[in-house]
Amino acid sequence: TRCSRDWSSDVCSSDLFVTATGTDIGKTFVTAGLIRHLRRLGHKVDAFKPVLSGFEMDGAKASDAGQLLAALEQNVTLETLDRMAPWRFTAPLSPDIAAAHEKRSIDFQALVSACRVKAADRHHTLFIEGVGGVMVPLDARHTVLDWMVELNIPVILVTGSYLGTISHTLTALSVLSAHNLNIRAVVVNETPGGVSMDETMATIGRFAPGIPLCPLSRTTRQDVVDEAMATLWRAVA
Protein backbone atom coordinates (compact mmCIF):
# COMPACT_ATOMS: atom_id res chain seq x y z
CA THR A 1 0.00 0.00 0.00
CA ARG A 2 1.41 3.37 -0.96
CA CYS A 3 1.85 5.65 2.03
CA SER A 4 1.54 9.41 1.62
CA ARG A 5 2.58 11.09 4.86
CA ASP A 6 0.19 13.49 6.57
CA TRP A 7 2.55 15.93 8.27
CA SER A 8 -0.13 17.02 10.74
CA SER A 9 -0.01 13.52 12.21
CA ASP A 10 2.61 11.03 13.30
CA VAL A 11 0.63 8.25 11.66
CA CYS A 12 0.80 7.05 8.08
CA SER A 13 -2.29 7.93 6.04
CA SER A 14 -2.46 4.37 4.66
CA ASP A 15 -3.40 3.25 8.18
CA LEU A 16 -7.08 2.98 9.03
CA PHE A 17 -9.16 3.35 12.20
CA VAL A 18 -12.17 1.02 12.39
CA THR A 19 -15.01 2.38 14.49
CA ALA A 20 -18.74 1.70 14.73
CA THR A 21 -22.12 3.07 15.67
CA GLY A 22 -22.11 0.88 18.80
CA THR A 23 -20.82 -2.31 20.34
CA ASP A 24 -21.16 -5.79 18.80
CA ILE A 25 -21.79 -4.27 15.38
CA GLY A 26 -18.97 -6.06 13.56
CA LYS A 27 -15.75 -4.03 13.83
CA THR A 28 -13.61 -7.08 14.52
CA PHE A 29 -15.22 -9.14 11.76
CA VAL A 30 -14.50 -6.36 9.26
CA THR A 31 -10.97 -5.76 10.52
CA ALA A 32 -10.10 -9.46 10.46
CA GLY A 33 -11.61 -9.80 7.00
CA LEU A 34 -9.52 -6.93 5.64
CA ILE A 35 -6.38 -8.39 7.24
CA ARG A 36 -6.95 -11.72 5.51
CA HIS A 37 -7.70 -10.00 2.20
CA LEU A 38 -4.49 -7.96 2.28
CA ARG A 39 -2.43 -10.97 3.32
CA ARG A 40 -3.79 -12.91 0.35
CA LEU A 41 -2.65 -10.02 -1.86
CA GLY A 42 0.82 -10.25 -0.36
CA HIS A 43 0.60 -6.99 1.58
CA LYS A 44 2.29 -6.51 4.93
CA VAL A 45 -0.39 -5.76 7.49
CA ASP A 46 -0.74 -5.41 11.25
CA ALA A 47 -3.56 -4.69 13.68
CA PHE A 48 -3.94 -3.06 17.08
CA LYS A 49 -6.97 -3.35 19.37
CA PRO A 50 -5.48 -1.59 22.37
CA VAL A 51 -8.63 -1.30 24.51
CA LEU A 52 -10.78 -4.35 25.16
CA SER A 53 -13.67 -4.76 27.62
CA GLY A 54 -15.41 -8.00 28.53
CA PHE A 55 -12.19 -10.00 28.30
CA GLU A 56 -11.78 -13.37 30.01
CA MET A 57 -8.54 -15.32 29.61
CA ASP A 58 -10.51 -18.55 29.31
CA GLY A 59 -12.12 -17.17 26.16
CA ALA A 60 -9.05 -15.42 24.77
CA LYS A 61 -9.15 -17.15 21.38
CA ALA A 62 -12.74 -16.05 20.79
CA SER A 63 -12.12 -12.48 21.99
CA ASP A 64 -11.68 -9.58 19.59
CA ALA A 65 -7.93 -9.65 20.18
CA GLY A 66 -7.85 -13.40 19.60
CA GLN A 67 -9.73 -13.09 16.33
CA LEU A 68 -7.33 -10.42 15.06
CA LEU A 69 -4.33 -12.53 16.06
CA ALA A 70 -5.86 -15.49 14.20
CA ALA A 71 -6.28 -13.35 11.07
CA LEU A 72 -2.59 -12.46 11.36
CA GLU A 73 -1.80 -16.18 11.85
CA GLN A 74 -0.30 -15.53 15.27
CA ASN A 75 -0.77 -17.74 18.30
CA VAL A 76 -2.87 -16.44 21.16
CA THR A 77 -0.48 -16.17 24.10
CA LEU A 78 -0.13 -13.75 26.97
CA GLU A 79 2.69 -12.06 25.06
CA THR A 80 0.72 -11.61 21.83
CA LEU A 81 -2.35 -10.47 23.77
CA ASP A 82 -0.25 -7.86 25.55
CA ARG A 83 0.96 -6.59 22.18
CA MET A 84 -2.50 -6.61 20.57
CA ALA A 85 -4.64 -5.37 23.48
CA PRO A 86 -2.60 -3.94 26.35
CA TRP A 87 -5.62 -2.37 28.09
CA ARG A 88 -7.84 -5.38 28.81
CA PHE A 89 -10.71 -5.33 31.29
CA THR A 90 -13.02 -8.06 32.51
CA ALA A 91 -16.35 -6.24 32.83
CA PRO A 92 -18.34 -5.94 29.55
CA LEU A 93 -18.84 -2.22 30.11
CA SER A 94 -17.54 1.03 28.66
CA PRO A 95 -13.76 1.19 29.18
CA ASP A 96 -13.87 3.96 31.78
CA ILE A 97 -16.34 2.02 33.95
CA ALA A 98 -14.69 -1.36 33.33
CA ALA A 99 -11.32 0.11 34.33
CA ALA A 100 -12.80 1.69 37.47
CA HIS A 101 -14.17 -1.72 38.54
CA GLU A 102 -10.54 -2.90 38.62
CA LYS A 103 -9.25 0.31 40.25
CA ARG A 104 -7.40 1.06 37.04
CA SER A 105 -7.59 3.75 34.37
CA ILE A 106 -6.58 4.33 30.78
CA ASP A 107 -3.81 6.86 30.28
CA PHE A 108 -5.11 8.62 27.17
CA GLN A 109 -1.76 10.03 26.08
CA ALA A 110 -0.13 6.63 26.56
CA LEU A 111 -2.87 5.12 24.39
CA VAL A 112 -2.27 7.64 21.61
CA SER A 113 1.51 7.18 21.88
CA ALA A 114 1.16 3.39 21.68
CA CYS A 115 -0.81 3.75 18.44
CA ARG A 116 1.83 6.05 16.98
CA VAL A 117 4.59 3.61 17.87
CA LYS A 118 2.65 0.82 16.14
CA ALA A 119 2.24 3.02 13.07
CA ALA A 120 5.93 3.95 12.93
CA ASP A 121 6.61 1.05 10.53
CA ARG A 122 5.88 2.70 7.17
CA HIS A 123 6.14 -0.60 5.31
CA HIS A 124 2.80 -2.06 6.33
CA THR A 125 -0.85 -1.12 6.63
CA LEU A 126 -2.05 -0.87 10.21
CA PHE A 127 -5.67 -1.33 11.27
CA ILE A 128 -6.43 0.29 14.62
CA GLU A 129 -9.73 -1.01 15.97
CA GLY A 130 -11.66 1.12 18.41
CA VAL A 131 -13.85 0.00 21.26
CA GLY A 132 -17.64 0.25 21.19
CA GLY A 133 -18.99 3.23 19.28
CA VAL A 134 -17.72 6.66 18.29
CA MET A 135 -18.56 8.37 21.59
CA VAL A 136 -17.66 5.63 24.07
CA PRO A 137 -15.80 7.12 27.08
CA LEU A 138 -12.21 6.04 27.65
CA ASP A 139 -11.66 8.01 30.85
CA ALA A 140 -13.23 10.96 32.67
CA ARG A 141 -12.54 13.38 29.79
CA HIS A 142 -11.82 11.46 26.58
CA THR A 143 -13.92 9.40 24.19
CA VAL A 144 -13.09 7.23 21.19
CA LEU A 145 -13.76 10.33 19.09
CA ASP A 146 -10.92 12.17 20.87
CA TRP A 147 -8.68 9.19 20.17
CA MET A 148 -9.51 9.31 16.45
CA VAL A 149 -8.98 13.07 16.30
CA GLU A 150 -5.56 12.73 17.94
CA LEU A 151 -4.45 10.09 15.44
CA ASN A 152 -6.03 11.87 12.47
CA ILE A 153 -6.09 8.85 10.17
CA PRO A 154 -8.85 7.73 7.78
CA VAL A 155 -11.87 6.02 9.31
CA ILE A 156 -14.06 3.07 8.39
CA LEU A 157 -17.46 3.24 10.09
CA VAL A 158 -19.24 -0.07 10.69
CA THR A 159 -22.98 -0.06 11.22
CA GLY A 160 -25.82 -2.57 11.05
CA SER A 161 -29.22 -2.97 9.43
CA TYR A 162 -31.13 -2.98 12.72
CA LEU A 163 -34.10 -0.68 13.36
CA GLY A 164 -32.62 2.68 14.36
CA THR A 165 -29.38 2.25 12.47
CA ILE A 166 -30.09 5.11 10.07
CA SER A 167 -30.24 7.66 12.87
CA HIS A 168 -27.20 6.17 14.60
CA THR A 169 -25.21 6.10 11.36
CA LEU A 170 -26.06 9.64 10.28
CA THR A 171 -25.31 10.93 13.79
CA ALA A 172 -21.92 9.21 13.77
CA LEU A 173 -21.13 10.53 10.30
CA SER A 174 -22.09 14.04 11.34
CA VAL A 175 -19.81 13.91 14.39
CA LEU A 176 -16.89 12.47 12.40
CA SER A 177 -17.31 15.07 9.66
CA ALA A 178 -17.58 17.92 12.16
CA HIS A 179 -14.14 16.93 13.46
CA ASN A 180 -12.68 16.82 9.93
CA LEU A 181 -12.03 13.10 9.97
CA ASN A 182 -11.60 11.38 6.62
CA ILE A 183 -14.44 8.85 6.33
CA ARG A 184 -13.30 6.31 3.77
CA ALA A 185 -16.35 4.04 3.84
CA VAL A 186 -19.42 2.91 5.73
CA VAL A 187 -19.83 -0.85 6.09
CA VAL A 188 -23.46 -1.89 6.56
CA ASN A 189 -23.21 -5.24 8.32
CA GLU A 190 -26.45 -7.20 8.01
CA THR A 191 -28.21 -7.56 11.36
CA PRO A 192 -30.10 -10.85 11.88
CA GLY A 193 -33.80 -10.06 11.85
CA GLY A 194 -33.08 -6.45 10.88
CA VAL A 195 -34.77 -4.25 8.33
CA SER A 196 -34.16 -4.25 4.57
CA MET A 197 -30.49 -3.85 3.65
CA ASP A 198 -31.41 -2.24 0.33
CA GLU A 199 -33.68 0.36 1.96
CA THR A 200 -31.14 1.02 4.72
CA MET A 201 -28.34 1.53 2.19
CA ALA A 202 -30.47 3.75 -0.04
CA THR A 203 -31.54 6.01 2.84
CA ILE A 204 -28.04 6.39 4.27
CA GLY A 205 -26.77 7.10 0.76
CA ARG A 206 -29.26 9.93 0.25
CA PHE A 207 -28.04 11.70 3.39
CA ALA A 208 -24.35 10.85 2.99
CA PRO A 209 -23.56 11.38 -0.68
CA GLY A 210 -20.00 10.74 -1.75
CA ILE A 211 -19.19 8.23 1.01
CA PRO A 212 -18.79 4.65 -0.27
CA LEU A 213 -21.36 2.28 1.23
CA CYS A 214 -20.33 -1.37 1.41
CA PRO A 215 -22.91 -4.03 2.29
CA LEU A 216 -21.82 -7.10 4.22
CA SER A 217 -24.28 -9.99 4.11
CA ARG A 218 -24.71 -12.31 7.07
CA THR A 219 -23.48 -15.54 5.51
CA THR A 220 -21.28 -18.55 6.20
CA ARG A 221 -20.04 -18.58 2.60
CA GLN A 222 -16.40 -17.55 2.70
CA ASP A 223 -16.35 -16.61 -1.00
CA VAL A 224 -19.11 -14.05 -0.42
CA VAL A 225 -17.24 -12.57 2.55
CA ASP A 226 -13.99 -12.50 0.57
CA GLU A 227 -15.62 -10.61 -2.29
CA ALA A 228 -17.18 -8.11 0.13
CA MET A 229 -13.76 -7.45 1.68
CA ALA A 230 -12.20 -7.01 -1.75
CA THR A 231 -14.90 -4.46 -2.63
CA LEU A 232 -14.39 -2.67 0.69
CA TRP A 233 -10.62 -2.49 0.21
CA ARG A 234 -11.04 -1.03 -3.29
CA ALA A 235 -13.23 1.65 -1.74
CA VAL A 236 -10.84 2.61 1.05
CA ALA A 237 -7.36 2.04 -0.42
pTM of the full structure: 0.93
Look at residue 237 and tell me whether its pLDDT is greater than 90.
no
pLDDT of residue 121: 74
| Of 3 and 129, the one with more pLDDT | 129
Active site residues per annotation: 49
**What average pLDDT score do residues 151-176 get?**
97
pLDDT of residue 5: 30
pLDDT of residue 8: 38
Supply the mean pLDDT for the chain. 92
pLDDT of residue 116: 95
Under 8 Å between Cβ of 12 and 126: yes
The model's pLDDT over 112-150, given as tens digits with 9 standing for 90+, comes to 999 999 988 777 899 999 999 999 999 999 999 999 999
Measure CA of the first residue to CA of the last residue in the chain; give whole Å: 8
User: Which amino acid does the sequence have at 41?
Assistant: L
Nearest to 71 by CA among 104, 117, 5, 27: 27
The model's pLDDT over 200-230, given as tens digits with 9 standing for 90+, comes to 999 999 999 999 999 998 887 888 899 999 9
Helix (H) or strand (E) run with residue 216 in it:
strand 213-216
CB atoms within 10 A of CB 197: 18
Tell me how far apart the 2 most distant CA atoms of the chain are, in Å. 46
pLDDT of residue 210: 93
> What is the band of 6 on the pLDDT scale with cuts at 50, 70, 90?
very low
How much is the CA Rg of the chain, to the nearest whole Å? Answer: 17
**What average pLDDT score do residues 7-21 get?**
69
Percent of the chain with pLDDT over 70: 94
pLDDT of residue 104: 97
Look at residue 96 and tell me whether its pLDDT is greater than 50.
yes
pLDDT of residue 220: 77
